[in-house]
Structure 1
């Protein structure tokens, strides 16, 4: 799956991009018709420790799925986003099966 990573106001390191790619590739186990995904990484300007926001938009035929999480680290936020997307993709696949 093609993953587009966009970092807002900072430079993203190779390790984080590799982690993202690896984690999002696992989503294809749950739903194999994923076209591509866009990942937006942002550091919020707040005094709060949980200031790292990750938005993941996944394109599937006929729809776009979007998840947004804010955590202390990007890795934690990516993990939470991926878990949410797994649930959404499983639901979507079950709905499609019900119509067939």
Structure 2
């Protein structure tokens, strides 16, 4: 999994980078077919915003979160990504198993 982390009006420090990468490793444990991740961190006045795009076979998973604290925003973001990936994984497993919509 290739991870690209960038910041707008924010310097991405080593602890921030390590925290994001550790959270993404946990997500990769649930869905191992992630090829590329683009993370953008932004500061707007008092809000810390983070957006991520995960590239998986057949789909792009996009989520964003904002909070007063960047670490809390990262936690919110990874929770959203994890839920979306679980849903995507369940759908692909149903298709592979030949489930019908009855």
Q: TM-score, normalised on structure 1?
A: 0.91
1:44-94 Cα deviation digits (max 9, x unpaired): 13xxx4x10000111111211110111011111111110111111111111
Aligned-residue offset at 1:16: 0.4
Pick from 66, 72, 95 the counterpart of residue 70 of structure 1.
66
Where structure 2 has 5 or more consecutive residues not aligned to the other structure, the ranges are 97-102
Distance in structure 1 (CA, Å) of the matches to 2:69 and 2:24 = 17
Structure 1 runs, 4 residues or longer, greater than 2 Å off: none
Q: Which residue is equivalent to 2:30? A: 30
Q: TM-score, normalised on structure 2?
A: 0.89
Where structure 1 has 5 or more consecutive residues not aligned to the other structure, the ranges are none
Q: Which residue is equivalent to 1:97? A: 93
The count of corresponding residues between Structure 1 and Structure 2 is 96
Q: What is the CA RMSD across the aligned residues, in angstroms?
A: 1.0
